[in-house]
Amino acid sequence: MILVVDTNEIISALIRDSSSRRILLSPKFFFYTPDFTLDEINRYIPLITRKSSLPKRHVLLLINDLLERVQVIEFDRYKQKYLEAEKIIGEIDPDDVPFIALALSIPNDGIWSNDKHFLKQDKINIWTTRDLIKLI
């Protein structure tokens, strides 16, 4: 299954050994994420370090391990769908636009997110952690 993964799911997997981490590491899935996800993760490293109770160097190693399972896509690959994505979700949550744009730009089975904002649109399938854990 090919999914676009929301930044929050990656951060959740970094904070604790959880269902999110099992999903990210599962060979049943292949993940894409927009390039700005890396900036988001870097911005939250102090929070991740604090909540995970891991030393920063371990958090950085874990980030590298998890991101080996996620293909980061540059803006140029999804910018042609950005305006369409803005129309779909921009008024609901502008932070979700890059995920919708990416999902519209590449072959995939939907977006993995627990963000309820995504459920307010009907153009892209949304998969929750609960949905995906059933598939493992």
Q: Which of 85, 75, 80, 92 is nearest to 36 (CA)?
A: 75
The vertex-88 CA angle with 43 and 70, nearest 5°, equals: 40
Q: What is the CATH number for 17?
A: 3.40.50.1010
pLDDT tens string, the chain, 136 residues long: the values are 999 999 999 999 999 989 999 999 999 999 999 999 999 999 999 999 999 999 999 999 999 998 899 999 999 999 999 999 999 999 999 999 999 999 999 999 999 999 998 999 999 999 999 999 999 9
**What pLDDT does 23 receive?**
96
Residue 25 sits in which domain range?
2-133
Helix/strand/coil for 40: helix
Q: How many domains does the chain have?
A: 1
* pLDDT score, position 45: 95
